[in-house]
Structure 1
């Protein structure tokens, strides 16, 4: 079983947890929490595959991804209080999800022969779009529209992976190094309240 496949399954599981926990304080039932977890887990990968013309969509072609989603939702329900505390500590599950999905999305785009810059963008889309859908469903402002280092952390990790692949670094090392970079950037940014410069118009 390849590292890419394992990371995508783990990322799917983690994002399902993130989505299910996002209904906290929304007084949702099991279906609401499950649906939010489901679309959070598949949203980015589905958009990526559609843009790249890769069919069947990854979660349709492999039922294990559905099992990972269901497992994440049930896991979130069983360990709800503990996970909620962890989620509020540096957005743990969202950070893990975007790190894993960025690298997986970048690798898949590269495997389909697209330009490396496009591959990095596809990696970012894979990582952030599930969260955008999650936040929209729960009436929250998506994180990418807030003053946080989020999508830019994904791009940094994606370009690091592309660079390491270019220099023929062992694949597993490249995967894990890029994932760790995204996690570090994201956690440091959240801990110290770092953000990119504000967009301004100059007339």
Structure 2
């Protein structure tokens, strides 16, 4: 009789522990859902965008707002804002690139919730430095045939080359530009593409590049200057 009571007691304790574990798992799941990060996913030209809220995938711990401004001589300034999920590594990043007559300025702001990402003016420096690069943007060529040498501006201390493809026409472009050094090692650029995708990794030198790289990988980047000049 006593043995039966002990057996029943152990069974009850085991059942209680299982129930407690199940309850804890349920609570943890609910808390994870309640506190998971959600960010706006949208983009707009010339103004801010708010909307299309999405829950971020695992590994994304910040909401980001990327502001890009493209200045081309004789054309209106193009400004684009992109909001999305991001990571801490994307925060407070600025980068620029330029070629003959066109400059691209971009910066990424971060925040811990979707409503707090600030939108500020992109920092622009037009002062020429001592670096000179041979620049071009040419379609359907394997190398630049008519490069133009320019003086780089601000923190653009590298000559960078890459190829890109227009997703609508499949036209391939080769570009050589002045660029900030942080672009040289970027494998993921926050800004979404207009109509083009990067086809090769960025290849940087301290002088005008003589060839373009050949390592392919599917990374999207905002290369609006290609579209403007094509």
Fold match, TM over 0.5? no
Answer 1 or 2: which has greater strand percent.
2
Task: Give the TM-score, by structure 1 length.
Answer: 0.25
Larger radius of gyration: 2
Higher RCO by CA contacts (8 Å cutoff, separation 6 or greater): 1
Answer 1 or 2: which has greater helix percent.
1
Task: Give the TM-score, by structure 2 length.
Answer: 0.23
